Amino acid sequence: MDSQVSESTLPEPPITSAPIIAHSSTEAEMDFDQLTLELSSPERPLNTDQPTQELNPPEPDISTNSNTSISEPQLAERSQNTDIMLLSRPEIALSLTEDAPLPEPQLAAASMVASSRSYADFTPEATFDIKKVDLHRLEEGPPLTATLTREEGLKYYRTMQTIRRMELKADQLYKQKIIRGFCHLYDGQEACAVGIEGGITLSDHLITAYRAHGYTLTRGGTVREIMAELTGRRGGIAKGKGGSMHMYTKNFYGGNGIVGAQVPLGAGVALACKYLGNDQLCVSLYGDGAANQGQIFETYNMSSLWKLPIIFICENNQYGMGTSVERSSASTEYYKRGDYIPGLRVDGMDVLCVREATKFAADHCRSGKGPILMELQTYRYHGHSMSDPGVSYRTREEIQEVRSKSDPISMLKDRMLSNNMASIEELKEIDIAVRKEIEDAAQFATTDPEPPLDDLCSHIFANDQPFEVRGATPWTKLTSTS
Ligand SMILES: Cc1ncc(C[n+]2csc(CCOP(=O)(O)OP(=O)(O)O)c2C)c(N)n1
Ligand SMILES: [Mg+2]
C-alpha cells in the first residue's frame, strides 16, 4: 500500500467545518491551472507516494480572480496551451474556456434555447463506427458499430462529467488540506467506468483497486456520500471511516489498497454467483502495474478451471505510479496475459467501444464459457496520487496530446452534437447542473460532523456481532453495533 504521510509533517485540518471558498475562476480553469502547475513542477524522484507540504503546495486563493495571481510565463503558457487545444479540438477549447458558471439570465436563456427545441428535433438514435477490438483466442469479437440512443448519450455524458468534476473538486479540497491521506483520482478514465456499467447491470458485481471514486458513483453512490467520505464525515458512504480507497455500495466491493488483492476477491464473488446459479457475473478490475502480480495468475487459473463468470479488466492507463508499462512489463499485451483465457484489447477512451466489448464479454460469461479478459487502453490525467505531480516520468506533450485528441467526454460530445442528438445549450445545462451538484456535495462534505468516537468499533460486522477491543480501551468499553 502507499506509504502514509506522517502526521507531524502537516498542520491539523479543521476538526468540523471548513468554509467552501466561492470561486470566480472556473473549474475548467482550475483543471488547466493545475495541469500547468503540475507541468511546471520540478523533477520528482520516481515511485514516491508520500504527500508532503512541498509536493502539495497550498491552493492559490481562488476567491479572487485567479488570473491576477498568475505570473507572466504561466499566462503565456496557458494561452499557448489553449491555442493548441483550439487548433486541434475546438470543442475542447470551448469546454476549457467557456465553462464558467453562467449568470442567472444566461442560464435562463440557455434553458429557453434548449426547451424551444422539442424532442422531435433531435435524432433519437444513431449508429457509429467504433475501433476494431484486438482479439486473443477468439474467433469473433464485439461489433464494429455501436448504436447510441439520445437518452443513453445524455446519461453517459452526465455521468462522465460528474466523475470529472468530482475529481477536480477532490483535487481542490486536497490542496486546501480538507481531504487528507490517500487520494487517487480517476479523471481521464471516465469512459471505462461508464462503458463497463453500460454493458452489465447493477445486479452484477464489481470490485476495483484504490482509484474507486468513479465506480462508487456508477454503482449507485451519490456525489454527497463520496465527497463526505473523502473528508471523513458521518454522511460519507462508509460513514466517514473508510476514506478515498474504501468506498462500497450494493454489489460493489471497493476500493482496495493492496495492489492486485481485489482480483482473487472478485473470483470469490464470481464463485458465489456460479454457486447460486443466479446468472450474475463479477467484474474484477486491476491496473497495468497490478497485472504483473502472482496472485492474478493464480486467479486466472482457478477461474478458468472452475469456469467462473468473471470479467477480468485491466485498466491500462500506461503507468503504475511513475513506471511506464514498457519499463514494468515483459509483455505489454495485457489482453493476452491470461494465456488460455480469451482476451480483448479495447479503446478505453471511447465509452461506446467499452460498452460493446463489455456486453460481448458479459455474454461470454453468462453463456457458461468461463472467464474472459479485457484490456482497456486508457490514460490518467492526474499523477498517480495527490503526492505525484505526474510529470517527472511523462512529458507534457504526451498529456496534452491525449487530452486534445482522445478525451472521452469530448469524443461523446462531438458525436452527439455532430449527429444532432443534443444541442450545445442542453449539454451546457447538464454541465451547470453537475457543477451545482458538486458544489452542494462539497458544502455538505465540509460541514457534516465527523463520526463520533462511540462509533469507532461499530459497523465492522454486517450483523449484530458483539465486539470488544480487549485491553485496548482502558477508559471505556467499546461496543459494536451494525
Ligand atoms: C502489494 C502492493 N505493492 C505495492 C503497492 C504500492 N503501489 C500502490 S499503487 C501502485 C501502482 C499500481 O499501478 P497500476 O496497477 O497500474 O494502477 P493505477 O494506479 O495505474 O491505477 C503501487 C506499486 C501496493 N499498494 N500494494
Ligand atoms: Mg496503471
Q: Residues 264, 295: contact at Cβ < 8 Å?
A: yes
Q: Residue 240's pLDDT is what?
A: 96
User: Closest residue (by CA) to atom 2 of ligand 1?
Assistant: 259
Which helix (H) or strand (E) segment holds residue 428: the answer is helix 424-447
Q: Can you give the pLDDT at residue 358?
A: 99
List the chain pLDDT tens, one digit each, 482 residues.
343 333 233 333 332 333 333 333 333 333 433 333 333 333 333 332 333 332 233 333 323 233 323 333 333 333 333 222 222 333 222 232 233 343 444 434 334 444 456 777 899 999 999 999 999 999 999 999 999 999 999 999 999 999 999 999 999 999 999 999 999 999 999 999 999 999 999 999 999 999 999 999 999 999 999 999 999 999 999 999 999 999 999 999 999 999 999 999 999 999 999 999 999 999 999 999 999 999 999 999 999 999 999 999 999 999 999 999 999 999 999 999 999 999 999 999 999 999 999 999 999 999 999 999 999 999 999 999 999 999 999 999 999 999 999 999 999 999 999 999 999 999 999 999 999 999 999 999 999 999 998 787 778 777 766 666 666 555 555 666 65
Q: What is the DSSP letter of 368?
A: I
CA of residue 257 to ligand 2 center, whole Å: 14
Q: What DSSP assignment string belongs to 106-172?
A: HHHHHHHHHHHS-GGGS-SEEEEE-PPPEEES-S--S-SEEEEEHHHHHHHHHHHHHHHHHHHHHHH
- Its pTM stands at 0.78
Residue type, 368: G
Return the pLDDT at 473.
55
Q: Is 185 in the pocket of ligand 1 (CB under 6 A)?
A: no
C-alpha cell at 95: 469546454
25-51+70-447: CATH number: 3.40.50.970
Ranges of each domain in the chain: 25-51+70-447
For ligand 1, is residue 319 a contact (CB within 6 Å)?
A: yes
Q: Can you state the angle between helices 408-418 and 351-364, rounded to 10 degrees?
A: 100
Please name the residue whose Cα sits nearest to atom 21 of ligand 1.
287
Query: 67 and 75 in contact (C-beta within 8 Å)?
Result: yes
Q: List 374's β-bridge partners, or say none.
A: 313, 344
The ligand placed nearest to the CA atom of residue 189 is 1
Separation of CA 380 and ligand 2 centre (Å): 8
Q: How far is the CA of 315 from the centre of ligand 2 (A)?
A: 7
For ion ligand 2, residues whose CB falls within 5 Å: 287-289, 317, 320
Angle at 454 between CA 448 and CA 457, to 5 degrees: 105
